[in-house]
Amino acid sequence: MERPGSVETIERVGTRDDVVIWREDDQTHLLLNMGPSHPAMHGIIRIILKLDGERVVDADVEIGYLHRAFEKTCEFKTWNQVIPYTDRLNYVSPLINNVAYVMTVEKLLGITVPRRAQYIRVLVSEISRVTDHLTCIGASAMELGAMTAFLYMMKAREWLWELVEMICGARLTTSYTRVGGLKADLPEGFHEACAERLKGVRQVLREVHGLLTNNRIFIDRMKDVGVIDAETAISYGFTGPCLRACGVPFDLRKVQPYLVYDELDFDVPLGEHGDNLDRYLVRMEEMEQSIRIIDQCLRQIPEEAPEIMAPEMAAWEVDDMGRLGQVTIPPDRVRVRLANTLEGSEASRWDHINAPNRAVVLPPKEEVYTTIEALMDHFKLIMTGHGITTPVGEVYFAVEGANGELGFYIVSTGQDRPYRIRVRGPCFALMSGLVEMIRGYTVADVIPVFGSINMIGGELDR
């Protein structure tokens, strides 16, 4: 927001240079900075408010405090080396970022991963969607004073992060996918652990509904606040829960299905008024639908490969024998006991979670340790300048992220790394409409409106 050009008088208040009073068109307004130090602004957003008393007359939103040059950095990394950087986009649901990126590269390569890998990608994406919505609603409720709801939501999120840790060994920076497949298969006992935790999450959602959904104070703060109509939301490029809260049934999992979403039964929750309350209710119902999807994945996922009964040797033993030229056991007759970090990536599971393309996918460790061909494949795929090479061209692919359409646009010149990468993150479009959503409301309304957008700084600024 530019300062008014016809300022008659400007009077600074006390010694605070960031608070300015000016008179314009016989009206006295206050210029106030909310953020980046305001606790609800996450330390990375500055909203310059033009106030008439407590009423927001106009505003300007300043972003860019968390810019890390994600897209430029990716140009100096190989295709798989980009994956850890995608974790840092939406760091509340990083697994969705992992899936979206590798599927874009796979579209460029023209390969499809096995059905078990597709089901696992859907499963981890929906777990991430639930953790994202839990964080959004819990933090927004806390900023309105509902501390109990926040603690309940964080408890449920902790259970789901334990599942994520079981799958990939990390809670936040997951880096779980690979171009052409996955880091590893689901761990032993995952189905039972997942079912148990989902039962607890459902109970937490019922408790939060009891705390918030019919709470008079919460409704007064949320209902008919931050209203944006469907036409305006579309003009700003809204997607995700914020668009569906306006009554627009746009969900990429339905309108442009990918992986196995077209084989799963779930509903797309819609709002009617496009206000804070509808955005809250849509996210609450989306979590129920995500749990419904996860349940179906657990029931329908193709079974993993049966355990191969063969002589067992530790990986380091095979490695030492290989160094001495003593490995004479054929690969199909030896089972390598891998380190904990490699569990789930055994050769018996490899073809079930990775595409059958040795020019893209690293060979299983058992073969790397016991055959010269697999060792050479592994070495070539890792060496700079000799890794995965993609066809010359450009491609765009998008998935339904927790906040909306998350797409990657990639340009390839046929090298082992991207020539250009651009990210279509949902948060940028949502933040562009923030001024429209807070104009005419009070300063106190800025907090719940901003919280209902669920801005994630890593994805917004990149």
Domains and CATH numbers, the chain: 78-179+187-303+390-461 (1.10.645.10), 312-382 (no CATH)
Give the whole-angstrom CA distance, residue 200 versus residue 202.
5
What is the pLDDT at residue 369?
79
Task: Provide the CB-side half-sphere exposure for 46 (13 A, CA).
Answer: 13
Q: What secondary structure does DSSP assign to 33-94, as a single string? A: EE-SSSGGGTTT-EEEEEEETTEEEEEEEE--TT---HHHHHTTS-TGGGHHHHHTSSTTSH
Q: What is the pLDDT of residue 7?
A: 37
The predicted structure's pLDDT at residue 388: 87
Q: Is the pTM of this model over 0.85?
A: yes
Q: Residue 137: how many CA atoms within 13 Å on its side-chain side? A: 33
Question: What pLDDT is stored for residue 3 in this prediction?
Answer: 41
As a whole number of angstroms, the distance between CA 296 and CA 262 comes to: 12
pLDDT of 22 reads: 62
- For 79, residues 6+ apart whose C-beta sits below 8 A from its C-beta are 105, 179, 387, 388, 390, 416, 417, 418
Give the per-residue pLDDT at 169.
85
**In the beta sheet, which residues pair with residue 30?**
21, 51
Within 8 A by CB and 6+ apart from 108, the residues are 390, 391, 393, 395, 410, 412
Q: Which of 20, 72, 78, 37 is nearest to 382 (CA)?
A: 78
Q: How far apart are CA 421 and CA 91, in angstroms?
A: 19
Q: What confidence score (pLDDT) does residue 5 get?
A: 41
Backbone angles phi, psi at 44, to 5 degrees: -135, 5
Query: Which helix (H) or strand (E) element contains residue 182?
Result: strand 181-182
- Return the structure tokens found at 64: 């860019």
Helical packing angle, 190-208 and 276-300, nearest 10°: 160
CA 279 to chain centre: 18
Q: What is the pLDDT of residues 148-201, one digit of tens each?
A: 999 999 999 999 999 999 998 888 899 999 998 999 899 888 999 999 999 999
Cβ distance 229 to 274 under 8 Å?
Answer: yes
Cα(459)–Cα(462) distance, integer angstroms = 5
In this structure, what token pair is assigned to residue 99? 């899936």
pLDDT at res. 336: 58
Alpha carbon distance 174, 121 (integer Å): 13
In the prediction, which pLDDT does 307 show?
53
Amino acid in position 321: M
Question: Residue 4's pLDDT is what?
Answer: 41
φ and ψ of 52, to 5 deg:
-115, 90
Long-range contacts of 232-235 (CB under 8 A, 24+ apart): 232/433, 232/436, 233/274, 233/433
Helix (H) or strand (E) holding 397: strand 393-400
Residues in the chain predicted with pLDDT less than 50, given as ranges, are 1-16, 309
pLDDT of residue 371: 81
